[in-house]
């Protein structure tokens, strides 16, 4: 019988892994706590090695066709006057706005559509107990019953509950950065640029185009207070409205939309001593959540591809999981390397800090420096070279 992988999480990493494992002859089952596929979320990008991965999956053209068509990144002041503009990247890696920008939910749907006939999806359920031995792993599900598999892959996010059933030494590094994400009505003044306002008090407001006739908005801020994301909705909204009351530009428009449902998160990094324990392995944000600088999706796709290739090479699971970690960990750690000083510089608190940031942005956006800035903006995942032993690309479509 074909080997079987049980995957916790139907976001990006889990279905990407299911696609590649099934293409290599494995049986795959995905368990997802949500009752249906989550098609919400903000813009994500696919660049660098991840672009090569989606090419091998036969998804690159679909991703480009379903993109948000974002034209670049513009920084503005509190009156809306442009401070600096950076055009979208023109290849796999460069630019603050990538060539392949897509809504997270759209990417999740593309991956699900490619895997639903070859992968068993169990929505509205979660793993509540894990037992493993030399022969395999057995997971008990909340809604009853068990699933036996050769490996269990935990790919259900930064604050994974499944991970906590097996790993007791994972540390969450809370960065003090909060982000509230919402979708607001599009207006005639909204263009195809990602427009960003940085305000004093380490606050940020941004508007981004999507491909659904609406606009994606985000409110970000640094705070020494922990647990704000867990407040009751009305209290959370009050905090946001108080925090951003005087930010200027189009902030009031975003604050007015907070009466509708929105998502708020406290950004954290994950530090795991090892990504595997026996037959259980971590993938994506559950293994290496990198924080706020936009490498998560590309690393998830790349990590899924590497893990599938290593598991399918026919060696024992311990060797496969060790090689997967050996290939991916250096780049995940590099992506986690943003210091507290860099985080504060990106989110200045004082007028002087904000003025300095804007001066740097103006210089960086000048014609002579733009090519250099584009290269420096490439995320750490771009430098991963897929080992030659992975062989030929997996089939483009899963039957």
**Rounded CA separation 312/214 (Å):** 42
Q: What is the mean pLDDT of residues 325-329?
A: 94
Q: What is the phi-psi region of residue 31: left when phi exceeds 0, alpha when psi lies from -120 to 50, beta otherwise?
A: beta
| In the predicted structure, residue 397 carries a pLDDT above the cut 60 | no
Q: Which of 35-49, 191-205, 331-345 has the lowest mean pLDDT?
A: 331-345
| In the predicted structure, residue 359 carries a pLDDT above the cut 80 | yes
- Give the whole-number percent of the chain exceeding pLDDT 70: 92
Claim: this prediction has a pTM higher than 0.75: yes
Q: What is the mean pLDDT of residues 375-393?
A: 64
Interstrand relation of 101-103 and 119-123 (parallel, antiparallel or unpaired) = unpaired
Torsion angle, alpha carbons of 239, 240, 243, 247, to 10: -160
Residue with tokens 């998160």: 265
| In the predicted structure, residue 358 carries a pLDDT above the cut 60 | yes
Contact 158, 286 (CB under 8 A): yes
Length of the chain: 399
Most confident segment among 32-41, 136-145, 309-318 = 136-145
| In the predicted structure, residue 47 carries a pLDDT above the cut 90 | no
- The interaxial angle of helices 296-311 and 13-23, nearest 10 deg, is 30
Q: What is the mean pLDDT of residues 141-147?
A: 96
Q: How many C-beta neighbours within 10 Å does residue 164 have?
A: 11
Residue among 63, 48, 61 nearest 12 (CA): 63
Tens digit of pLDDT for each residue in 169-210?
Answer: 999 999 999 999 999 999 999 999 999 999 999 999 999 999
Q: Which two tokens stand for residue 270?
A: 């994950």
Torsion angle, alpha carbons of 292, 41, 153, 159, to 10: 50
| In the predicted structure, residue 398 carries a pLDDT above the cut 80 | no
Between 294 and 103, the higher pLDDT residue:
103
The percent helix, strand, coil of the chain (3-state, each to 5) is: 35, 25, 40
Give the confidence band of 393 by pLDDT, cuts at 50, 70, 90.
low
DSSP string, 256-315: HGGGS--EEEEEEEEE-S-SEETTEEE-THHHH---SSS-HHHHHHHHHHHHHHHHTTSS
Contact 302, 50 (CB under 8 A): yes
DSSP string, 182-215: EEEE--TT--SEEEEEEETTTEEEEEEE-SSSEE
Write down the pLDDT at residue 272: 96
Tens digit of pLDDT for each residue in 345-356?
Answer: 889 999 999 999
| In the predicted structure, residue 390 carries a pLDDT above the cut 60 | yes
**Rounded CA separation 52/382 (Å):** 10
Q: Is 353 helix (H, G, I), strand (E, B) or coil?
A: helix
Q: Which two tokens stand for residue 239?
A: 């905090």
Residue among 288, 26, 310, 39 nearest 163 (CA): 288
| In the predicted structure, residue 378 carries a pLDDT above the cut 60 | no
Q: Which of 5-19, 74-88, 373-387 has the lowest mean pLDDT?
A: 373-387
Write down the pLDDT at residue 364: 86
| In the predicted structure, residue 389 carries a pLDDT above the cut 90 | no
Write down the pLDDT at residue 117: 93
Core vs surface per residue 267-301: b (16+ CB within 10 A) or e = bbbbebeebbbbbbbbbbbbbbbbbbbbbbbbbbb
| In the predicted structure, residue 98 carries a pLDDT above the cut 80 | no
**Rounded CA separation 106/43 (Å):** 9
Contacts of residue 35, Cβ cutoff 8 Å, sequence gap at least 6? 123, 124
Report the Cα 135 to chain-centroid distance in Å. Answer: 33
Q: What is the mean pLDDT of residues 333-352?
A: 87
Tens digit of pLDDT for each residue in 244-266?
Answer: 999 999 999 999 999 999 999 99
| In the predicted structure, residue 61 carries a pLDDT above the cut 90 | yes
Mean pLDDT of the chain: 90
Residue with tokens 């706590």: 33
Tens digit of pLDDT for each residue in 202-250?
Answer: 999 999 999 999 999 999 999 999 999 999 999 999 999 999 999 999 9
Write down the pLDDT at residue 375: 62
């Amino acid at each position: 019988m074909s080997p079987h992988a049980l995957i916790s999480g139907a976001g990006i990493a889990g279905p990407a892994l299911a696609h590649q494992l099934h293409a290599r002859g494995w049986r795959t089952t995905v368990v997802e706590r949500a009752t249906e596929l989550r098609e919400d979320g903000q813009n994500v990008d696919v660049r660098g090695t991840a672009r090569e991965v989606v090419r091998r999956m036969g998804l690159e053209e679909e991703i480009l066709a379903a993109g948000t068509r974002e034209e670049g990144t513009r920084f503005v002041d509190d009156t809306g006057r442009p401070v600096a503009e950076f055009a979208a990247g023109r290849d796999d890696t460069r630019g603050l706005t990538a060539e392949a920008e897509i809504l997270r939910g759209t990417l999740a749907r593309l991956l699900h559509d490619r895997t639903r006939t070859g992968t068993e999806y169990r929505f509205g359920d979660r793993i509540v107990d894990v037992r493993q031995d030399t022969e395999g792993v057995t997971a008990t599900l909340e809604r009853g019953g068990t699933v036996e598999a050769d490996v269990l892959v935990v790919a259900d996010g930064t604050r994974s509950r499944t991970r906590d059933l097996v790993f007791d030494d994972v540390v969450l590094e809370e960065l003090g950065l909060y982000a509230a994400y919402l979708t607001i009505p599009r207006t005639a003044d909204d263009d195809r640029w990602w427009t960003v306002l940085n305000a004093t008090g380490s606050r940020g407001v941004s508007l981004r185009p999507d491909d659904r006739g609406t606009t994606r908005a985000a409110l970000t801020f640094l705070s020494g207070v922990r647990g704000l994301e867990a407040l009751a909705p009305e209290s959370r909204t009050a905090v946001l409205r108080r925090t951003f009351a005087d930010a200027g530009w189009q902030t009031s428009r975003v604050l007015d939309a907070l009466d509708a449902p929105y998502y708020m998160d406290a950004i954290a990094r994950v530090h795991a001593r090892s990504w595997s324990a026996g037959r259980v392995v971590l993938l994506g944000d559950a293994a290496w959540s990198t924080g706020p600088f936009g490498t998560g999706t590309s690393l998830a796709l790349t990590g899924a591809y590497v893990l599938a290739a290593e598991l399918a090479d026919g060696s024992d699971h311990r060797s496969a999981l060790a090689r997967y970690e050996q290939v991916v960990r250096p780049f995940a750690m590099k992506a986690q390397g943003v210091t507290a000083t860099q985080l504060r510089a990106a989110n200045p608190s004082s007028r002087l800090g904000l003025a300095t940031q804007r001066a740097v942005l103006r210089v960086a956006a000048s014609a002579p420096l733009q090519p250099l800035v584009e290269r420096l903006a490439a995320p750490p995942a771009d430098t991963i070279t897929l080992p030659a032993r992975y062989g030929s690309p997996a089939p483009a479509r899963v039957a």
